[in-house]
Amino acid sequence: MAEPGFGPTRLEAISDGVIAVAITIMVLELHPPHDPTPAALLTLWPQFASYVVSFGFVATYWVNHRYLFRHLKRVDERLLWTNMGLLFLLSLIPFATAYAGQSRIAPFPVAVYATIMLANALAYGALLTAIRAQHDPAELPAAFGRRCITINVIAGVVYALAIPAAFVSPVLSLAMNVAMTLVYMTPLPRPE
């Protein structure tokens, strides 16, 4: 059982901190070119592209995490550990971003990147399930509705397909990740 006094607000603050650090680490990996020319700046497109994809990914997780936590009834062991699992996997995104970007979007690093995206989707699904279990099935909030569950399943499938796609076309694999980020940015039923 979670310790008394360890409520949702404290857990959400810890989560916000980990996510903020992940974003900070990602941006610190962007280094300006030594040559002060537009051509030199354009050579950084792989690092910048992977940063943009990753920032959108982390941002959508933060937004959706925030909405999930509005429906949290209590902090228990299951919730603590599923949330920590998600935070651990989110903390790997700066590594995957740097690896894909510095490799100039090579197939294997992009496959690693897609694998980490898939792992995050699975961890988010576990967190959603842990919070959903705290509610009576007959009175589930819209945040746990069929549309949200369907989108999470589709995301997992797309991320899984992005892994082998990286060996065919790394750009296609990144585009698949971008597509899922855009889907998560569309208006979903949100709690009030």
pLDDT of residue 5: 62
Give residue for tokens 């857990």: 11
User: Taking a C-beta distance cutoff of 8 angstroms, is the pair 96, 54 a contact?
Assistant: yes
User: pTM of this prediction?
Assistant: 0.85
pLDDT band at residue 111 under the 50/70/90 scheme: very high
pLDDT above 50 (res 76): yes
pLDDT of residue 4: 59
Q: Which of 180, 144, 184, 177 is nearest to 162 (CA)?
A: 177
pLDDT digits (tens, 9 = 90+) for 8-63: 888 888 898 988 888 888 888 878 888 999 998 898 888 888 888 888 888 888 98
* 161 half-sphere exposure, CB direction, 13 A CA radius: 12
pLDDT of residue 189: 52
pLDDT above 80 (res 186): no
Rounded distance between C-alpha atoms, residue 150 and residue 155, angstroms:
9
pLDDT above 90 (res 6): no
Provide the mean pLDDT of the chain: 87
Please state the domain extents for the chain.
8-185
pLDDT of residue 121: 92
